[in-house]
Chains A and B, each alone.
Chain A
Amino acid sequence: MTTSWLTRMLRALGPRSEETSPESEMDEEMAFHLEMATRRNVERGMPPNEARRRALATFGGVAQTRESAHDGMPGRRLDELRQNLSYASRTLRRNPGFATSVVLTLALGIGANTAIFSVVNGVLLRPLPVPEADKVAFVGWKYANGGFTALTGFQLEFLRSYTQTFAGLTTYRTSSRELGAAPNTRTVHGLRVSPDFFSVVGTPPVLGRGFVPEEEAPGGPAAVVLSDALWRSVFAADRSVIGRAVQLDSTTYTVVGVAPPALRVPDAPENTEFFVPLQLRVDPTDIGENYLALARIKKDRTRELALAELRTVADAFRREHPNLAKAPAGYTMLAYQDVYVGGPLKRTLLILLGAVTFVLLISAANAANLLLARAAAREREIVVRTALGAKRGRIVRQLLSEGIVLSAISGVLGLVLGMWGVRAMLALAPKQLPRAEEIGLDFRVLAFTFGIVVLTGLGFGIAAAIPTGRLNLASVLGERARGSAARQRSRDVLVMSETAFAIILLAGAGLLLTSFAKLRSVDPGFKAENVTAVRFGRMPDGYSTMDAVSLFERQLIDRMSHIPGVQRVAGLPNFPLEHGWNMPVALAGVAESGDGGVEYRWVTPEYFETLQIPLLRGRQFTASDDRRAPRVAIVNAAMAKRFFPDGDALGEQIDVGRYKDHWIAKEFEGTVEIVGIAGDVREIGLDRPPRRTVFVPMAQAQDRMVSSPLLVIRSMPGTALQSAVNDAVRSIDPRITAPQLQSLPSIVGASLAEQRFQTTLLTLFAGTALALTAIGIFGVVSYGVQQRVREIGVRVALGASSGNVLRLIVGRSLAFASAGAIIGVLGALGLTRFLSGLLYGVTAADPMTFSLAVATLLIVALLASYLPARRAARTDPVVALRLD
């Protein structure tokens, strides 16, 4: 007997060494006994061979004696376990085909679960990088129509002066600067932070200090806190860095502290490298600057108290500033984790976790089926062992051991598959997946995998062992084995549950696929094909006014228009489906709508033609709509309909009504005439209705709007643009860094990243489930046919046609698949409502999708049972009846 690796491993782990184990002592004792008996027989005159034979005969089976002697020994259970495991691994190695199919099936299920759980663990379960995160919350503003928006500086200051339940109230904004002295600069990303930032986040600088009030006052000393990474890369982790100078955007900052490496806040760039003070803009009319307020609740106060206080303060705010807020608008609070991870993502992950659980159940059911089939093949062995006195419990434990060994091997393989799956998922995941860097193998993931390995092993071991445990000699010797009937029932139940689980996954995936297809086919209102987006980075000095940027864009558009293959070029403030600007607006004489503002876009005249947005009425902007010309605007259809439902918007004057003081509203000072009405564009999301939008000519826009230029180019398919664009830029101003080019369809595609992620994964799981179910049905029917060869032979002999046989077998399997499908549809109806928030243009109980899922499954079941049934239909009765 060769010792298996498992036996060796178990021995190595065992408490005693080979030399002194009771087992080997027992062997020695037996050998001694045998030798003495042989010697006695020789003394009595027997030839040595005969003497030994006799001695052995009277001794009884050595193994049996050992085994029963063993029963009296302590640690017997452990030894039995060891034996079972080593026996299991030996028998499995003798059946590599069987072992491989089970292991692969299970590894698929375990791998998928490990992968999804790793992501859930990293994103949801790992402690947040903030001490006592349950005391930290985001405070925002909620409008009458719900939602959560950031606070204005004025609202934040008001909150600061009137609350007592918070230990600290801070805010931060992202910022990027050029680090170092020209020309050797590089762009670094960081945060502008408000007082208390470090104490609210709960991670004080590890070196030096946070900011003091005078550093936060306008014109105060320029101070910077370095990130751990920057401290290490630039200052080689020098502990005497405090007080040294750092150049940021050609201003000299004094290093006052070094932040801990763990510091992370939502929306901050992953590679946050510096922190500088943020001066809050406190202006009652300033609605444009938004601050996300982060608060830490005092140790002895609860969230409920904080919420109650926020309501009181909101009342006070409305009383003092009735023109700025009307009930029920007011302060509101969101848990830190919910902002950090986001409700929709959390829901997506939990849905995926649920989905992979079904995949695991299906693969465990398949594994149980395989084990059952093999138990049937070993019926003889088991019955003989039972007849020879092996206890039923021992045999059941033996089957369980096989289950455990199989699932342990699958677990190892599954872990590998899972880690690979995590990498694949991260590649697929939306870029903004928070905490992606925390996803990986840790003790929690290992414990989870270990847990499902043990549960799966026990589960399918028990499923296989129960009907086998009922076996007895009489039933097997009798022609119709009751054990195999019990097993057939178990198999049918397993097939039914597989079918049910598969239907649930198919329905879920079908719904997501349908809504994804609908999203893809939504008309966004513009034509993205053959459009290239051009994105400039930070602009050099001299481009801080709208006129300068506008002039540069004008020149660039002229030059680029002459590139061969280019049809149209336009400047715009943001690409479709990326964030844009909006402003509150209420037009004079029009009833207050109270449902938010309008999107505000400044564009060059070619904008509408480049994106092929239809102009419904009026005219486009022209080059002559500049600062000297009368002010004009184009509104979209949604805006025209909202504010001028009865009449014609064309020729009307835009009046910003009560928001006159708002800085954006200054755009509309005096008279702004509506000269055109454009078609609606789904600009903030393909799944969101078009927003009301106002367009103004870039040449008439204000300096407050200045940002790095963005352009769109419509060109002939296959036009190479990058080098021609670079040349054009260089010919205007060689100091400007070459822009980044990206196709507009890829930006549109990126806006669907989250939907694509969910849909791809769920479809992948559903496909796996379908394949596993097909394998399961195929296996069960093949086995059932093999068991019923005699019966089929008799039927054929009695005149059944092969069609009859085919119908008999396929019918039976379809009956069980249909029963499973019904259960599955009921389950799916209950479960798909969790998907409803993710769906677009399709209801969670879409009859079409459900029918398609059922049809797919039944066709697969039909095929999977047809193949073995056809073989059975060809049974030669003579051969079949001669069997056995």
Chain B
Amino acid sequence: MADTERGGEVIKGTLDLLVLKTLQLGPMHGWGITELIEQRSENLLSVNQGSLYPALYRLVRQGLIRSTWKTSENNRRARYYELTAAGREQLREERAQWERLSRGVNLVLKTAGE
């Protein structure tokens, strides 16, 4: 698949939620997070590395995720991120918030369409 067909940018503010959600599946490196988000969103979403890593470092700093260096599936050293308890809590909260928000947005959009 060509890169030009890649999907839209992740909406600002939702990247943290997506990262946390992805990490719920287990520890993962930055590249893996990118791939997984793209796969899960059926290529509708693409993650700009320029935003991903700052987001990762920010989350680490906030104590929501932590990182360790491990050997990757192809025997390379890679930094793996995993959720902390606080991260799991944050994920629940943000997820609920997102659902409220998207339901609200959808409702408004539907009304506007009529």
Q: Which residues of A contact B (CB under 8 A)?
A: 25-26, 28-30, 32-33, 35-37, 40, 44, 54, 57-61, 64-65, 68-69, 71-74
B1-34 near A? 1/0 per residue, CB < 8 Å? 1010010000000000000000000000111001
Asked whether A26 and B54 contact (CB < 8 A) given A32-B76, A58-B3, the answer is no
Determine if B3 and A54 form an interchain contact, defined as CB atoms under 8 angstroms apart.
Answer: yes
Chain B contact residues, majority secondary structure:
helix
User: Which of B29, B34, B48, B78 is in CB contact (< 8 Å) with A60?
Assistant: B48
User: In the complex, what distance in Å separates the CA atom of A30 from the CA atom of B34?
Assistant: 13
Determine if B49 and A33 form an interchain contact, defined as CB atoms under 8 angstroms apart.
Answer: yes
User: In the complex, what distance in Å separates the CA atom of A54 from the CA atom of B54?
Assistant: 22
| Closest-CB distance, B67 to chain A (whole angstroms) | 9
Determine if B54 and A68 form an interchain contact, defined as CB atoms under 8 angstroms apart.
Answer: yes
User: In the complex, what distance in Å separates the CA atom of A71 from the CA atom of B56?
Assistant: 12
User: In the complex, what distance in Å separates the CA atom of A64 from the CA atom of B35?
Assistant: 21
Determine if B48 and A28 form an interchain contact, defined as CB atoms under 8 angstroms apart.
Answer: no
Determine if B77 and A65 form an interchain contact, defined as CB atoms under 8 angstroms apart.
Answer: no
Q: Which residues of A contact B54 (CB under 8 A)?
A: 68-69, 71-72
Q: Which residues of A contact B58 (CB under 8 A)?
A: 72
Asked whether A35 and B76 contact (CB < 8 A) given A44-B1, A54-B3, A73-B57, the answer is yes
Q: Tell me the chain B residues, 49-71 only, with Cβ under 8 Å from chain A.
A: 49-50, 53-55, 57-58, 61, 69
The 4 A-B pairs of least Cβ separation, nearest first, read A36-B31, A69-B53, A72-B57, A72-B58
Determine if A32 and B53 form an interchain contact, defined as CB atoms under 8 angstroms apart.
Answer: no
User: In the complex, what distance in Å separates the CA atom of A711 from the CA atom of B72?
Assistant: 102
Q: Which residues of B contact A29 (CB under 8 A)?
A: 29-30, 53, 78-79
The chain A residue sitting closest to B77, CB to CB, is A28
User: In the complex, what distance in Å separates the CA atom of A30 from the CA atom of B78?
Assistant: 10
Most buried by B among A28, A65, A72: A72
Asked whether A65 and B49 contact (CB < 8 A) given A32-B31, A32-B76, the answer is yes
Determine if B79 and A25 form an interchain contact, defined as CB atoms under 8 angstroms apart.
Answer: yes
User: In the complex, what distance in Å separates the CA atom of A65 from the CA atom of B30?
Assistant: 13
Determine if A69 and B76 form an interchain contact, defined as CB atoms under 8 angstroms apart.
Answer: no
User: In the complex, what distance in Å separates the CA atom of A33 from the CA atom of B34?
Assistant: 9
Chain A contact residues, majority secondary structure:
helix
Question: What is the size, in residues, of chain B's interface with A at 8 Å between Cβ atoms?
Answer: 23
User: In the complex, what distance in Å separates the CA atom of A211 from the CA atom of B32?
Assistant: 92
A-B contact pairs, 11 of them (CB 8 A): A26-B53, A32-B76, A32-B77, A33-B49, A40-B35, A58-B49, A59-B49, A68-B54, A72-B54, A73-B57, A74-B61
Determine if B61 and A72 form an interchain contact, defined as CB atoms under 8 angstroms apart.
Answer: yes
Q: Which residues of B contact A57 (CB under 8 A)?
A: 3
Q: Which residues of B contact A65 (CB under 8 A)?
A: 49-50, 53
User: In the complex, what distance in Å separates the CA atom of A26 from the CA atom of B56?
Assistant: 11
| Closest-CB distance, A498 to chain B (whole angstroms) | 47
User: In the complex, what distance in Å separates the CA atom of A528 from the CA atom of B69?
Assistant: 91
User: In the complex, what distance in Å separates the CA atom of A37 from the CA atom of B79?
Assistant: 16
| Closest-CB distance, B20 to chain A (whole angstroms) | 16
The chain A residue sitting closest to B34, CB to CB, is A33
Q: Which residues of B contact A44 (CB under 8 A)?
A: 1
The chain B residue sitting closest to A39, CB to CB, is B74
| Closest-CB distance, B72 to chain A (whole angstroms) | 8
Q: Which residues of A contact B31 (CB under 8 A)?
A: 32-33, 36-37
Most buried by A among B35, B48, B53, B61: B53
Q: Which residues of B contact A73 (CB under 8 A)?
A: 57, 61
Q: Which residues of B contact A64 (CB under 8 A)?
A: 50
User: In the complex, what distance in Å separates the CA atom of A57 from the CA atom of B46?
Assistant: 14
| Closest-CB distance, A79 to chain B (whole angstroms) | 13
Determine if A33 and B50 form an interchain contact, defined as CB atoms under 8 angstroms apart.
Answer: no
Asked whether A69 and B3 contact (CB < 8 A) given A59-B49, A60-B50, the answer is no
Q: Which residues of B contact A28 (CB under 8 A)?
A: 77, 79
User: Which of A32, A37, A54, A69 is in CB contact (< 8 Å) with B57?
Assistant: A69
The chain A residue sitting closest to B51, CB to CB, is A68
User: In the complex, what distance in Å separates the CA atom of A64 from the CA atom of B53?
Assistant: 11
Determine if B49 and A60 form an interchain contact, defined as CB atoms under 8 angstroms apart.
Answer: yes
